[in-house]
Structure 1
Amino acid sequence: MISSLLEPFTVSFVLRALAGGVLLAAVCALVGVWVIARGMTFLGEAMSHGMLPGVAVASILGGNLVAGAAVSALAMVAGVNALRDSREFGRDTSIGLLFVGMLSVGVIVVSHSRSFATDLTAFLFGDVLAIRQADLVLLAGAGVVVAVVSLVFHRPFLALTFDPRKARTLGLRPGLTNAVMMIMLTVTMAVAFSVVGTLLAFGMLIAPSAAAMLVARRLLAVMLTSFAIGATATVAGLWISWFAATAASATIAAVAVAIFFLVLAARRVADGVLRRHSPKGAL
């Protein structure tokens, strides 16, 4: 009985998918918390869609798809930063316009390339079961880089997130700190694309971290909890997809989102119980 339940994880390509999903969970845990805390969720979503032009061009030219995704995401970040101080419209407007514009360019490029159009589903939704050894090395390298940057810029990130004025007063160079954080987000979205595709990368970045912030307070605890949730979603998603014959990448992302709503529901139930059992007026 147990051996049959563990059957998926005896197959080599599923084990590679498992390793890739766990590595991605680690990278997303280090970045997703900052994205949510700084209110950059919409930017992360727009970036996940805005990677399509770079992926399409890289595919047509025979280049590296992750590099193409990263270049496209960096172009979006540069555009957002250039327009963020505009008096005519807000930051969300500029993100929305760039998001639609870059997605439109990507669709136009795809529509003129028959070879790319046939692989569009894989680029949009990913194929975690097709992860190769080289992809695992890329994910591990990205994880090391993001971990080192997070450690070195821990104090500036905190100051920029919760008190930008104090960060400037302390000489922590918020402009540079913001640029580093944007590059971290770009790297994360680019490597996430290689695992779960452009459209589902955002789910893996946000859902585990959002769930973790419901149950933990300290930054390190939130990141560790986010990693645990992302890794759990990977294991459960691969297991479900094997027996239910569903798309593995989409199932992993769906499980991550489902875990968030389960944690949210449990949190609300727990809060309700505490209110009923607390002395009147204590809360």
Structure 2
Amino acid sequence: MEWLIAPFEVGFVQRALWGGVLVSVVCALAGTWVVLRGMAFLGDALSHGMLPGVALASLLGANPFVGAALSAGVLAAGVTVLGRSGRLSHDTGIGLLFVAMLSAGVIIVSRSESFAVDVTGFLFGDVLAVRNADLGVLAVAVLVAVVVSVLGYRAFVALTLDARIAHTLGLRPGRAHAALLALITLATVSSFHVVGTLLVFGLLVAPPAAALAWARRIPAALVGATLLGCTATVLGLLVSWHAGTAAGATIAAVAVAQYFVSSALARLRDRVRPLLNPEWTIQEKVETPT
């Protein structure tokens, strides 16, 4: 069992483990709604749309988290404004803003010859370089995500089913959508330093998608996504330690592998179950409380 325990006896690996677990929790809370509502493209756009803010913050000597938050907030606000205009489809508006923000970030980066290392860190992160201060930021992000998820649960469920239902129930779908955008923004901004923007998308989507293949209720999907994300963190760090691979990328790769395994097992379940129970016709979709 030495191979299993030895990596986590090292201080920086312990911090990486805690950082990955906290990222897994906040990404699961936001990512489950991303998958349920088909908002994966928005999550990808937000993760890349932080580049101009991070670039400006680094050039000005400011905190990159502040730049990332401002940049992601601008993109989220732009998505909301374009969505209300009704002139463009939701995906088209996201695509335009995504290209605009990413282009602005690349232009800013191109003006500095010494920015290559920072961009690499932005894209791929460095989970093994997590500091105690980063853990504090992540802990606060998890606390805020839990509060938003609990307070907005009924509104998020109604919004996922139909915005008209949310309006009928007096849940204010506009505010619920804005709160959901804020939750997704919180997850991407707080996580990019740990696993990078190219890889945070994996933890935002893969664990919830894997959990939803089995969970029949949203709370179960939230818990399942959290557990799968934490498992991916542990396994990813183990593989990275023994194989000498990049830790953040390995964690994300394990998370994606979990989805494919979960999907394959779910298809096998759907084929075998009717044979075991002739009355079974089809797996019910995720049940949502009213």
Name the TM-score, length of structure 2 as normaliser: 0.93
Q: Are 2:83 and 1:75 aligned?
A: no
For 2:115, what is the secondary structure of its paired residue? Answer: helix
Task: Give the letter aligned to residue 119 of structure 2.
Answer: L
Q: How does 1:108-187 map to 2 (within 5 A)?
A: 108-187=107-186
Moved beyond 2 Å, runs of 4+ = 85-89, 275-283
Task: Give the letter aligned to residue 165 of structure 2.
Answer: K
Q: Are 2:224 and 1:229 aligned?
A: no
1:51 aligned residue:
50
Map Cα deviations across residues 173-202 of structure 1 (whole Å, 9 max, x no partner). Answer: 111111111111111100110111111111
- Runs of at least 5 residues in structure 1 that lack an aligned partner in the other structure: none
For 1:215, what is the secondary structure of its paired residue? Answer: coil
Whole-angstrom CA distance in 2 between matches of 1:266 and 1:38: 23
Task: Give the letter aligned to residue 117 of structure 2.
Answer: T
Name the TM-score, length of structure 1 as normaliser: 0.95
Deviates more, 1:86-95 or 1:189-198: 86-95
Asked if the contact 1:212/1:222 (under 8 Å) is kept, the reply is yes
Change (3 A) 1:265 1:60: same
Map Cα deviations across residues 150-187 of structure 1 (whole Å, 9 max, x no partner). Answer: 11111111112213112212221111111111111111
Whole-angstrom CA distance in 2 between matches of 1:259 and 1:115: 38
Asked if the contact 1:23/1:140 (under 8 Å) is kept, the reply is yes
**Alpha-carbon offset, residue 5 of structure 1:** 3.2
Task: Give the letter aligned to residue 171 of structure 1.
Answer: G
Whole-angstrom CA distance in 2 between matches of 1:156 and 1:91: 20
Q: Are 2:44 and 1:34 aligned?
A: no
**Alpha-carbon offset, residue 100 of structure 1:** 1.2
**Alpha-carbon offset, residue 88 of structure 1:** 4.1
Task: Give the letter aligned to residue 8 of structure 2.
Answer: F
Whole-angstrom CA distance in 2 between matches of 1:82 and 1:280: 49
For 2:159, what is the secondary structure of its paired residue? Answer: helix
For 1:115, what is the secondary structure of its paired residue? Answer: coil
Question: What RMSD, in angstroms, separates the aligned Cα atoms of the two structures?
Answer: 1.5
Map Cα deviations across residues 119-173 of structure 1 (whole Å, 9 max, x no partner). Answer: 2211101000000000000000010011011111111111122131122122211
Asked if the contact 1:30/1:147 (under 8 Å) is kept, the reply is yes
Asked if the contact 1:125/1:200 (under 8 Å) is kept, the reply is yes
Task: Give the letter aligned to residue 178 of structure 1.
Answer: H
Map Cα deviations across residues 230-261 of structure 1 (whole Å, 9 max, x no partner). Answer: 00000000010111111100000010000000
Change (3 A) 1:168 1:120: same
- Same amino acid, percent of matched pairs: 55
Deviates more, 1:194-203 or 1:79-88: 79-88
For 1:84, what is the secondary structure of its paired residue? Answer: helix
